[in-house]
Chain A
Amino acid sequence: MLRSSEDFARPLVLNKRAFKANIAVCDGNLQPGSSLDDDILALREEYLGREFDEITFAIDGGRFSEYARACGEQDPRFTDAAHPDFQAPPTYVSTLIGGRSRPDGFPQLSGVGMDAGKGVQWMAPIRDGATLTGKSHLHDIYVKTGRSGRMIFLVARMELYDEHGTHVANADTRTVIRERPSE
């Protein structure tokens, strides 16, 4: 069953009431413990939702079946090219990397950056031999503040479309930048 891409196309909303309460809002979901300092608010206003990268991927069943086996998948629909429903595991799209990770002009944030997580929204099977187009934008920017200072979270979303224009998946990469204490 296909999911509508509109399910994931809701606009980012900056809820002013939540802003006053130091809570970031993205796609209607609260980010607990996060805040919107003025600099972060400015980054959101300038960069969220702006497409900054487009890249094509030739989907190789050999590669995604190796991925599946290494991860412990046993279902032949993910591991056996002869299976009638042969397809990539949904999480496979996390391995597809765009050409760039930030928009033009995005400021260099000073601090230690780390991969904080991955998210996938799956809408349709991805088959061997497909050509996907990945279009990336910054989907969310928020801050969490702890005893050691601020941690800035950047969520880059790659929307993936097949050769027919069907929106097949979203792949989110969450990067956290821990600001240096002196800043």
Chain B
Amino acid sequence: MSDLVKTIADVEFGAELPAFQPDTGLDNVKRFGKHVGWDSPRFTDHEAARKEGFPAALVPGVMSQGYLGAMIHRWAPAAEIVEIDTVFRAPVLVDQPHSVVGVVTDVDEDTGTAEIDITITNAAQETRVFGTAKVRLPTG
């Protein structure tokens, strides 16, 4: 399978989506907070987050969900994400490297849909966020 998926025929059951390293840097999270609205100190200030008992500032959950969507669109630019469900299992920490990965768990060529298990892991390979997505792709 080529790296870039254009139609449902390009999708193989069990295929791994190219891993994506999201920008968890403090500047990016601050910019997200400024423009989108998640600007609480627990997201934008490591020291303030530690005072709340966290090991460091946190990437907002809605931003983590956005990373998952971005990974799918990088893999298949024509994909429409029709459903995505994410579970916030543990914090994604700001300024820590993380990886977003996915694997195709179902393909329906008749409807042009595929299901994908999606995960965000940290450098220790610990799962921080996981979920599933259903995408629709052109059939021809």
Q: Which of B1-41 contact A (CB under 8 A)?
A: 20, 22-23, 28-29, 31-32, 35-38
Q: Which of A88-109 contact B (CB under 8 A)?
A: 89-92, 94-95, 97
Contact A122:B82 (CB < 8 A) given known A70-B23, A70-B36 = yes
Tell me which of A17-25, A44-52, A72-80, A132-140 binds B. Answer: A72-80
Chain A contact residue count (CB 8 A cutoff): 33
B122 at the interface (CB under 8 A from A): no
Q: Is the CB of B87 within 8 A of A94?
A: no
Contact A70:B63 (CB < 8 A) given known A90-B84, A91-B81 = yes
Q: Is the CB of B36 within 8 A of A122?
A: no
Q: Is the CB of B84 within 8 A of A119?
A: yes
Q: Is the CB of B83 within 8 A of A120?
A: yes
- Bound together, the chains give a CA A77 to CA B23 distance in angstroms of 20
Q: Is the CB of B85 within 8 A of A95?
A: no
B46 at the interface (CB under 8 A from A): no
A116 at the interface (CB under 8 A from B): yes
Contact A122:B80 (CB < 8 A) given known A71-B69, A115-B61 = yes
- Which residues does chain A contribute within 8 Å of B29, judged by CB atoms? 70
A66 at the interface (CB under 8 A from B): yes
Q: Smallest Cβ distance from B99 to chain A, in angstroms?
A: 12
13 A–B contacts, CB within 8 A, in A order: A1-B136, A66-B36, A68-B70, A71-B32, A72-B22, A89-B66, A90-B84, A91-B68, A91-B84, A116-B87, A118-B86, A119-B85, A121-B83
